[in-house]
């Protein structure tokens, strides 16, 4: 039922400077593939067939990455590197890709608005590539299933500590079932004193198309950015929004330390690195 996804990837990645001075944060390598590929594969495993990446100047390496590479493919074929050849071809056929430019980094809400014409009148998924989710059922599929049941927008929630209330949007919840909460209100990075709960909003969403009208009505914040949290608050005035406490593990790879943790954990899960890396870490 949800067949389209939007991956906003037009930001400056300032937390990652200088690495992101001349390359997209979304193309930074985690073990052996770029950050954005984790979101793309999660979407595809969840039944998404078409993906719009919101991009900006200087980030065309993402377009090349998900395109065919005839010279490289020919080279690998001539060298008999068939496994690599298959993998390279697989990446370009993961989904149907669209690239939409956000001309100025005016915030996540504004980035999502750039996909309005692409989305048309269907519910759609949004995946922030900074977040890597390791879940037995893909995180966005968990949300899509809730959308199918409740026919309303769903955002992913995680339990956060005091530090987390300074980093994430926090919801005022009305519990519906073990993992589903109706969102009564929300506030961006309130800090521990003003937080309604310990339920933080992470980087996966399924939206009904009415979110676009809400974004259009959203005023820019103090920094001049249109925040998706503010748009969701407006959406709440016209229709219910639910939060889903996902099952699995999430890495905040948009942050330098979170990125290092993700790299170590995901490398430890790979049979070819696991034992040597474990031994190496013990020696430190």
Q: Considering only residues 211-250, where is the footprint of ligand UTP by CB under 6 A?
A: none
Q: Which of 51, 53, 54, 241 binds ligand UTP (CB under 6 A)?
A: 54
- Cβ atoms of residues 188 and 254 within 8 Å: no
Q: Which stretch binds ligand UTP (CB under 6 A): 106-114, 163-171, 185-193, 270-278?
A: 106-114
* Strand bridging mode 199-207 / 153-159: antiparallel
Name the residue nearer to ligand UTP (CB basis): 55 or 142.
55
Q: How far is the CB of 24 from ligand UTP (least distance, A)?
A: 8
- Cβ atoms of residues 95 and 4 within 8 Å: no
DSSP run (H or E) holding 74: helix 70-78
Q: How many helices (H) and strands (E) does the chain have?
A: 11, 13
Separation of alpha carbons 126 and 118, rounded Å:
13
Name the residue nearer to ligand UTP (CB basis): 129 or 173.
129
Q: How far is the CB of 246 from ligand UTP (least distance, A)?
A: 18
- Contact map string, positions 11 to 40, toward ligand UTP, x by CB under 6 A: xxxxxx--------xx--------------
Q: Provide φ and ψ at 59, rounded to 5°.
A: -120, 25
Residue showing the smallest CB distance to ligand UTP in the complex: 11
100 three-state secondary structure: strand
Q: How distant, in Å, are the alpha carbons of 1, 5, 76, 167, 255 from that of 188?
A: 30, 24, 48, 8, 18
Q: How far is the CB of 58 from ligand UTP (least distance, A)?
A: 12
Q: Which of 140, 204, 254, 259 binds ligand UTP (CB under 6 A)?
A: 254
- Contact map string, positions 124 to 143, toward ligand UTP, x by CB under 6 A: ----xxx-------------
Please give the residue ranges that form the binding site for ligand UTP (CB under 6 A). Answer: 8-16, 25-26, 54, 102, 105-108, 110-111, 128-130, 254
């Amino acid at each position: 039922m949800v067949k389209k996804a939007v991956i906003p990837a037009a930001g400056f990645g300032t937390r990652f400077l200088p690495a992101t001075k001349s390359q997209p944060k979304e193309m930074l390598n985690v073990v052996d593939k770029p950050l954005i590929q984790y979101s793309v594969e999660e979407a595809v495993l969840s039944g998404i067939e078409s993906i719009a990446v919101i991009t900006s100047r200087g980030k065309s390496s993402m377009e090349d990455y998900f395109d065919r590479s005839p010279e490289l493919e020919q080279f690998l074929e001539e060298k008999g590197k068939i496994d690599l050849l298959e993998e390279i071809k697989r990446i370009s056929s993961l989904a149907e890709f669209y690239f939409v430019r956000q001309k100025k980094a005016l915030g996540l809400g504004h980035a999502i608005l750039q996909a309005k014409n692409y989305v048309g009148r269907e519910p759609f998924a949004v995946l922030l590539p900074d977040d890597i989710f390791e879940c037995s059922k893909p995180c966005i599929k968990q949300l899509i299933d809730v959308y199918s049941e409740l026919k309303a927008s769903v955002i992913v929630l995680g339990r956060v500590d005091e530090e987390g209330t300074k980093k994430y949007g926090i919801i005022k919840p009305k519990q519906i079932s073990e993992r589903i909460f109706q969102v009564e209100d929300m506030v961006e990075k309130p800090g521990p004193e003003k937080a309604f709960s310990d339920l933080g909003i992470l980087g996966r969403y399924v939206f009904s198309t009415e979110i676009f009208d809400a974004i259009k009505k959203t005023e820019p914040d103090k920094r001049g950015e249109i925040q998706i949290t503010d748009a969701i608050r407006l959406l709440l005035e016209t229709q219910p929004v639910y939060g889903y406490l996902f099952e699995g593990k999430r890495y905040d790879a948009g942050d330098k330390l979170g990125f290092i943790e993700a790299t170590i954990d995901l490398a430890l899960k790979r049979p070819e690195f696991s034992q040597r890396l474990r031994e190496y870490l013990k020696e430190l």
